[in-house]
Amino acid sequence: MGQDWAFVNIDRREIIDHVGKLGEFFGDCSTARRIGMLLHQIPPLPKMPRIQPSGAESTNVKNFFDRGLLALPNEILYHIANDIGRPEDLVCFAAACHRCWDICSSLLEACIRRDVSWAGCRVICLGDYVARNDLPAGILTEVEQAELDAAGQDECHEGQPVSFYDFAQAHYRERSSGGTAEQFLKILSWRRLVGDAPLAAIEIMFASVKSTVLRNLSKKLYVRVDAINALNEELPQREWFWCDKSYTLGDALVSRICWSTDPSCSMSAHCDDITRGPWAGDAFDITSMEDFQKEENFYQWADAAEEVCEALRQCWDDE
């Protein structure tokens, strides 16, 4: 049957499960790109644009603020907002007026980032044939390792102690692989009917995302999208009926983070270490190369394009 794979966010305790065999989803123009989108650094939430109210609306503004929920002090409104769990619900609450938006902006920004971004988190793609205690060295904290060890004594899978794959399936929150910024905007506009100024503010927030470099925050390595594009020019190209078959920064990530005890990957291409990824369990983000180069410690980082492109080159199947 072949082993199934799952993307695990260790810090958020989230899992994207049952993505299929590695050879089925690697380079499928979809899975890796969605994972890459989750790593985008989300910029700060802007103020809600001010739209001039009509004359009829402006005459009722004072009465609107003097009654009901908005008659409460800012501190109470903040505590109410802090108890709202789902980001789309918080957007609807904040969208009541500019005052609510300003009160909720810090909460809303953090909530949106948690919902649509894995930037800065430790991520690993685990095969379900991974053995117990077979993990890259040091990827779990002492507390996380103790939790896994304790579960191994109390739980079993088909008579065997649980692996980290089994543990994540049982204890981590399942996340939709489509939970990206684009999907979040669709939920707001289609299901919650959020529009005008509130939607515009969030669209501005997402529109300013520039994904030109993948960073391994744990090892201080980076890969520029220019290097991946150059590799695509080098490789023999073909078009699938649903997309152009080409690599992205998401594919660069996936080629380095897969981990299993069993080397089976259902890939016809020869990939030396695809199932023992040297970056598995590291923390990542995708950001702008322009912003990255402005950071004080930029020169402490190393360009890993050669290593990553060679791995992708080995995985290319042009048959």
pLDDT, tens digit, 9 for 90 and up, residues 148-180: 988 865 565 555 678 999 999 999 999 865 567
* Shared domain check, 193 and 156: no
pLDDT of amino acid 153? 58
Give buried/exposed letters for 122-155 (b at 16+ CB in 10 A, else e): bbbbbbbbbebeebbeebbeeebeeebeebbeee
Bigger pLDDT: 27 vs 113: 113
In a domain, 49, yes or no: no
- What the block records as the tokens of 212 is 């030109």
Question: 109: Cβ–Cβ under 8 A, 6 or more apart, which residues?
Answer: 44, 45
* Shared domain check, 223 and 147: yes
CB 252 within 8 A of CB 308: yes
pLDDT of amino acid 94? 86
In a domain, 50, yes or no: no
Spatial separation of the C-alpha atoms in residues 186 and 157, rounded to whole Å:
39
pLDDT of amino acid 318? 44
Of 126-130, 280-284, 311-315, the one with minimum mean pLDDT is 311-315
Give buried/exposed letters for 189-210 (b at 16+ CB in 10 A, else e): eeeeebeebbbebbeebbeebb
CB 191 within 8 A of CB 88: yes
- Please give the average per-residue pLDDT across 132-157, as a whole number: 84
* Shared domain check, 268 and 223: yes
User: Mean pLDDT score of the chain, rounded to an integer?
Assistant: 83
pLDDT of amino acid 154? 56
- Please give the average per-residue pLDDT across 215-230, as a whole number: 96
Give buried/exposed letters for 88-116 (b at 16+ CB in 10 A, else e): bebbbbbbbbbebbebbbebbbebbbebb
Distances (CA, A) of 286 to 85, 97, 184, 206: 26, 33, 19, 13
Spatial separation of the C-alpha atoms in residues 84 and 268, rounded to whole Å:
48
Of 15-19, 88-92, 235-239, 289-293, the one with minimum mean pLDDT is 235-239
pLDDT of amino acid 90? 87
- What the block records as the tokens of 266 is 């259902």
* Shared domain check, 190 and 134: no
What tens digit of pLDDT does each residue of 43-65 get? 888 888 765 554 444 444 555 55
Question: 137: Cβ–Cβ under 8 A, 6 or more apart, which residues?
Answer: none
Tell me what percent of the residues of the chain surpass a pLDDT of 70: 83
What tens digit of pLDDT does each residue of 66-122 get? 567 778 888 999 999 999 888 888 888 888 888 888 999 899 889 888 888 999 999
* Shared domain check, 34 and 147: yes
- What the block records as the tokens of 166 is 């089994």
In a domain, 165, yes or no: yes
* Shared domain check, 111 and 34: no
Range of the domain at 61: 55-117+178-207
- How many domains in the chain? 2
Q: Is the pLDDT of residue 241 over 60?
A: no
Spatial separation of the C-alpha atoms in residues 39 and 145, rounded to whole Å:
25
* Shared domain check, 187 and 256: no
* Shared domain check, 264 and 298: yes
Of 187, 207, 227, which residue is a domain's last?
Answer: 207
In a domain, 65, yes or no: yes
* Shared domain check, 92 and 149: no
pLDDT of amino acid 67? 63
* Shared domain check, 31 and 158: yes
CB 152 within 8 A of CB 132: yes
pLDDT of amino acid 184? 78
pLDDT of amino acid 58? 45
- Find the distance separating the first CA and the last CA of the chain, reported in whole Å: 23
pLDDT of amino acid 203? 82
Spatial separation of the C-alpha atoms in residues 275 and 265, rounded to whole Å:
7
In a domain, 46, yes or no: no
CB 228 within 8 A of CB 249: yes
* Shared domain check, 238 and 156: yes
In a domain, 78, yes or no: yes
Q: Which amino acid is at 298?
A: F
Spatial separation of the C-alpha atoms in residues 33 and 12, rounded to whole Å:
20
Of 207, 222, 252, which residue is a domain's last?
Answer: 207
Beta bridge partners of 258: 125
Q: Cα 99 from chain centroid?
A: 30
Axis crossing angle, helix 249-257 with helix 225-234, rounded to the nearest 10: 90
* Shared domain check, 188 and 254: no
> For residue 65, which of 98, 20, 21, 102 has the smallest C-alpha distance?
98
Total residue count of the chain as it appears in this document: 319
